[in-house]
Amino acid sequence: MNRTHIRLIVRIWLGLMAIVGVALSASSAANAQDTGGTITVNVFNQTKDAKGVATKVAVPGVTIKVSDDTGAAITSGATDAAGEVVLKVPTQTKFNLDLDVATLPKGVVLASGQTEKAVVDFTVGAGIGANKSYNYFLGKDDRLTTGRFKLLLQTLVNGVKSSAVLAICCIGLSLIYGTTGLSNFAHGEIVTLGAIVTWLLNQEGPKLHLLLAAPFGIAASALAGMGLERGVWRPLRKRGISLTSMMIMSIGIAIAVRYVYVFMLNSKFNRAVYYRQYHAQPEWSIGPIGINERDVIVIVLSVAVILAVCYFLLRTRQGKAIRAVSDNPDLASATGINTNKIILMVWALGGGLAGLGGVMFGAAHGLQWDTGFNLLLLLFAAITVGGLGNPFGALVGAVIVGMATELWTWVFPSFLEYKNAAALGALIITLIIRPQGILGRKERLG
């Protein structure tokens, strides 16, 4: 059974529940009073068997609090054996309901799409009268029933996936910083470019298979990197412009390029777009872990590419030259290394990897005009945590940042939307403990 099926079943379920709710509210309307009003609240636990046939069970003992518009408490009560509580309110106006989550039985939570707070307004909606009803639907707490440990395994797999994409994207950022000292804020746009060019070839125009279109996207990103180096950064370095100026320039370029993307593709990029292949794939269950073909390809490919890059940097002549320029550009050029050529190569390599990362991210999460920009801070967090300018540090940093975001969702499942803040928090904590980053060299500080 895949995710789409489950979603469909949940939707049908909620629909049925809504009908039940309307019927219940109609029946309780008969007990209407003349002055003030009553709010009938029902709390149900919905479960389904293997065929997806649903049954509902009333949940007793759940406390519901009622407050008025200004937040002042009016009344409260606990549900009876039928899962129902009738709350009297003095006027027929607007009231806020609040379900006390602490009084829920163990193992159940509010169903998806339900919140503990609700508004009951006597002045609007169907069934205007002295009685209003509201239904809370509970669902099985999947997190608790699947077990925290099993969920941890899945979280770790997700973390590996995030880390892999981040690592691919941030090697280039780190190498560019290492060889030229530039914090390139336009790196996110290079990531987006690869994803967009691939998307154009995949969904528009020739409609190539994603695996055939991706090399063109990667090439476009590599060329963009080389173009920026030859057209912008090399001439500026020659003029002796400071690194801070170049960093702020890269911000200007990033803003301009980002809005060029929206300008050109405005009508299509209103929401996230997807590739024709590897989108919404069925999940394979391997023990407690759910994973699909795309994720396996992303992880395997990233690991292979990262190993290749490490081999290139450690064992080949060109790679050693890159590290030499990183360590000390003046000394490297004194030993006969053509620094400009090496830097151009770094831009091509870093740009191409960024493009690949963009395609991977786009395949997994869909693609928007600001996809790369949204990744950029995580990329900076990764290379800073690892130690600025050290490509191996960038890999370590990518794993830390990728794992921190996913583990955050495991530790604080109800604070999902703050997971990027968790990555940035990891950055700050690392810098307090080890200001030069994990693999960074100690330099003048303060």
Partner 1 sequence: MNWALIFSNGLYAAVSANAVAYMLIASGLNVHFGNTGLLNFGQAGFAAVGAYGIAIPVSQYHWNPFAAMLVILVGAVLLAVGVGLLTLRLRSDYLAIVTIAIAEIIRIFVNGDHFKWLTGGNDGLQGFTRWMENASPFSTNGVKIWAQKIDGYRLWLLVSGWILLGIIATALYLLIRSPWGRVLKGIREDEDAVRSLGKNVFAFKMQSLVLGGVVGAIGGMWLVLDKQSAQPGDFATTLTFFAYTMIILGGVAKVKGPIIGAMMFLFLFTWVDSFLREATKTSAGKKPVLPKWLITDNNYAQVKYIFAGVVLAILVAFRPQGIFGDKKEQAFDVR
Which position has the token pair 């060329």? 223
381: contact with partner 1 by CB under 8 A: yes
Q: 160 vs 224, which CB is nearer to partner 1?
A: 224
Among positions 384, 390, 405, 409, the unique one binding partner 1 when judged by CB under 8 A: 384
Say how far apart CA 108 and CA 85 lie, in whole Å. 19
Q: 7 vs 117, which CB is nearer to partner 1?
A: 117
What is the DSSP track for 30-55? TT--SSSEEEEEEEEEEEE-TT--EE
Q: Is 152 within 8 Å of 364 (Cβ atoms)?
A: no
418: contact with partner 1 by CB under 8 A: yes
Q: Which among 400, 362, 316, 417 has a CA at the least distance from the CA of 202?
A: 362
How many residues of this chain interact with partner 1, rule: CB under 8 A? 49
Q: 71 vs 205, which CB is nearer to partner 1?
A: 71
Sole window of 22-30, 57-65, 204-212, 420-428 interacting with partner 1 (rule: CB under 8 A): 420-428
Within a 10 A sphere around the Cβ of 24, how many other Cβ atoms?
16
Q: Cα torsion at 52, 55, 61, 65 (round to 10°)?
A: 70
Which amino acid type is present at position 427?
L
Q: How far apart are CB 187 and partner 1 at their closest, in Å?
A: 13
Q: 189 vs 295, which CB is nearer to partner 1?
A: 189
Say how far apart CA 217 and CA 201 lie, in whole Å. 9
Sole window of 11-19, 258-266, 296-304, 346-354 interacting with partner 1 (rule: CB under 8 A): 258-266
What letters, b where the CB count within 10 A reaches 16 and e where it falls short, cover 191-224?
bbbbbbbbbbbbbeeeebebeebbbbbbbbbbbb
Q: Residue 424 corresponds to which tokens in the numbers above? A: 């940035």
Q: 275 vs 408, which CB is nearer to partner 1?
A: 408
CA 28 to chain centre: 44
By CB under 8 A, what part of segment 171-200 binds partner 1? 183
Draw the binding track, 202-231, toward partner 1 (x: CB under 8 A; -: no contact): ------------------------------
Among positions 41, 190, 196, 257, the unique one binding partner 1 when judged by CB under 8 A: 257
Among positions 1, 251, 296, 314, the unique one binding partner 1 when judged by CB under 8 A: 251
Q: How far apart are CB 265 and partner 1 at their closest, in Å?
A: 9
Q: 6 vs 256, which CB is nearer to partner 1?
A: 256
Main-chain phi, psi angles of 182, to 5 degrees = -90, 125
157: contact with partner 1 by CB under 8 A: no
Among positions 5, 7, 11, 117, the unique one binding partner 1 when judged by CB under 8 A: 117
Query: Residue 292: CB partners within 8 Å, gap ≥ 6?
Result: 281, 282, 283, 284
By CB under 8 A, what part of segment 260-289 binds partner 1? 260, 262-264, 266-267
Say how far apart CA 116 and CA 32 lie, in whole Å. 25
Binding site for partner 1 (CB under 8 A): 117, 183, 236, 241-249, 251-260, 262-264, 266-267, 377, 380-381, 384, 388, 414-415, 417-418, 420-421, 424-425, 427-428, 431-432, 435, 443-446
